[in-house]
Chain A
Amino acid sequence: MSFVYERPRTAEDLGKLLASHGQRACVLAGGTDLLVALRAGHARPEVVADVKAIEELRELRHEADGRLFIGAAVTINRIVDDARLRAMHGGLTGGAGAIATFAIRNRATVVGNVSNASPCADTVPALALLGAEVELRSATGSRRIGLRDYIVGVKQTARRADEFAAGIHVPAQGKGTRTWFCKRQRVRGHDLALANAALIHDPEHKKLRVAVGSCSPRPVVVELDDMFDKPDAEEAAKRAMASIAPISDVRASAEYRTDMTGMLVRRLFDALRG
C-alpha cells in the first residue's frame, strides 16, 4: 500500500487534485472508514487528499435565519457538543451521538457518515427529514443535491470522481419544529444499527414524517402529514413497516428488522407525546 498524501489548503486546490487524479484519488476526512478500506485493500488510491487543512470545510455555520452548514471536516462530536444544534435538531445530534464510540466520533465526520452511504448511517434519517442537501464541488463548478438523491445505493453516492462533498446544507425549518432519533442495536455503546429511525414534527407546516434507516439501500421517508392533528402511532408503525425493504444479514433477519421498525416508530411517537 503506497500512496501520495496531499493536504491542500484551499477547496480550489482540492478540486484540481481530483480533476487530475479522479478515480485514483481518495478524499480523507476523519479516516474512520477510509483507513479500514486501505488496510483491507478495498481502496487502492494513488493519492489521498486530506480535507482537514481547508479552513472553509472546517466550518459549522449557523445562519441568522436558521439555515445550517456542516463542512466536510466537521467531526461528529462537534455537532453533538453544539448546544444550539442539540436544541434545534435533537434528532440529528441524537443520531450523531449514537455513532460508534467517543474516540471514533472525535475523528469521524458528518459528511463522511453520509458519504460512506451505509444504510445504517445514524445521521441520515434526521438529515433526510430536515431536507438536507449535499454540496458537491469540482474544479469546474459546484452543485447541490438532495440527500436522498445523493445516496444512490449501498455504499454508492452520486458524487463524480472529480468532485468532493464540501458540506451539508440544512434549510431553515418551520417554527417550533422538533426532531427525535431512535436506534435498535445489539449492545449498548458501540454497535451498528439493526434499525434506526427519526421523526420530524413541524407545527408551522403541519408536517409529520418518519425516516427509517438500515432497512433499505436508501433512506426511506414516510409521510404522515395526514395524521398531523391526530397522530396514530399504530397506523404510523404499520405504514413504516410497509415502506421498507430490509434484508437478512449477520446482524438481524429481515423479519426482525421489520418488527423493530414498528417498535422504533411507536417509541418516537411516545417521545412526540412527551
Chain B
Amino acid sequence: MEYDVRITVNGERYQARVPASLTLLRMLREVLHLTGTKEGCSIGECGACSVILDGKLVNACMVLAVECDGSVVRTVEGEGAMDKLSDLQQAFVDNHALQCGFCTPGMLMAARELLERKPDPTDDDIIEAMAGQICRCTGYETAIEAVRRVARKGQAGGGK
C-alpha cells in the first residue's frame, strides 16, 4: 500500500506518495533527494541517520515515513548556508572533528538538539548526547571538544 505523506523539512514543504515500508531515512534520501543524512547500519546502532523530528532527535532508519505525515523534520541541510557554515559546523572543522565525514551529519544533529535543549551542557551531557553517534575515524574527543566550544561561546542556535 502507498500513502500520501506531507512533511516539512528544513522549512520546505514536501508531499510524496510512499509505500508503508519506506523509512523516513529512505524518503529523505531517495524521494526528497536530501542525501546529507546518511545510511549507516539501518538498525538504530550507528546514529549516522540522526535527524530532529518534531523537536526530538531520532534515528531516521527507525521511523516509517508514513508515521511522519504532518511532521516537521530538520536535517543537516538546515545547518548553515551554502556560503556560511553554522557555528557547530565551523567548530567541527576548527577542531578536526571529522575525517571521512560520514558520521558528521548525525553528530551535528545530535549536538544541535542538545544545545537547544541544554544551552549550557556539562561534559557528561555532551557525552550522553553524542553516545549514539558512532565514528570510526576521530575517536570522539575532537567532536566532543567542538560541541563544548560552541556551548561555552554561548552561540547555540546558529543553525538556520
Contacts and interface: CB of A to CB of B under 8 A. Distances in A.
A104 B127 contact: no
A64 interface: no
Given A31-B62, A31-B63, A31-B64, A103 B42 contact: no
Contact of B20 (A4, A36, A39): A4
Interface string A244-269: 00000000000000000000000000
A189 interface: yes
A264 to B, nearest CB: 21
B44 A5 contact: no
Instruction: Output the residue of B3, B64, B66 with the most chain A CB within 10 A.
Output: B64
Interface string A91-104: 00000000011111
A189 B45 CA distance: 11
Contacts of A140: none
A2 B21 CA distance: 6
Interface residues of A, number: 26
B3 A5 contact: yes
B57 A102 contact: yes
A104 B62 contact: yes
A103 B21 contact: no
B50 interface: yes
B59 A104 contact: yes
Interface residues of B, number: 28
Given A102-B132, A103-B47, A2 B19 contact: yes
Interface string B52-69: 000011110111101100
Contacts, number: 77
Instruction: Output the residue of A30, A50, A189 with the most chain B CB within 10 A.
Output: A189
A38 interface: yes
B128 A189 contact: yes
Instruction: Output the residue of B19, B62, B63, B129 with the most chain A CB within 10 A.
Output: B62
Given A31-B64, A48-B20, A102-B57, A189 B44 contact: no
A233 B73 CA distance: 50
Contacts of B20: 2-5, 48
Given A32-B44, A48-B20, A52-B67, A102 B62 contact: no
A178 to B, nearest CB: 23
A106 B42 CA distance: 17
A4 B20 CA distance: 6
A259 B107 CA distance: 36
B137 interface: no
Interface in B50-105: 50, 56-59, 61-64, 66-67
14 contacts: A1-B21, A2-B19, A5-B66, A28-B67, A35-B44, A35-B63, A48-B20, A48-B64, A101-B47, A102-B131, A104-B59, A106-B58, A107-B59, A189-B128
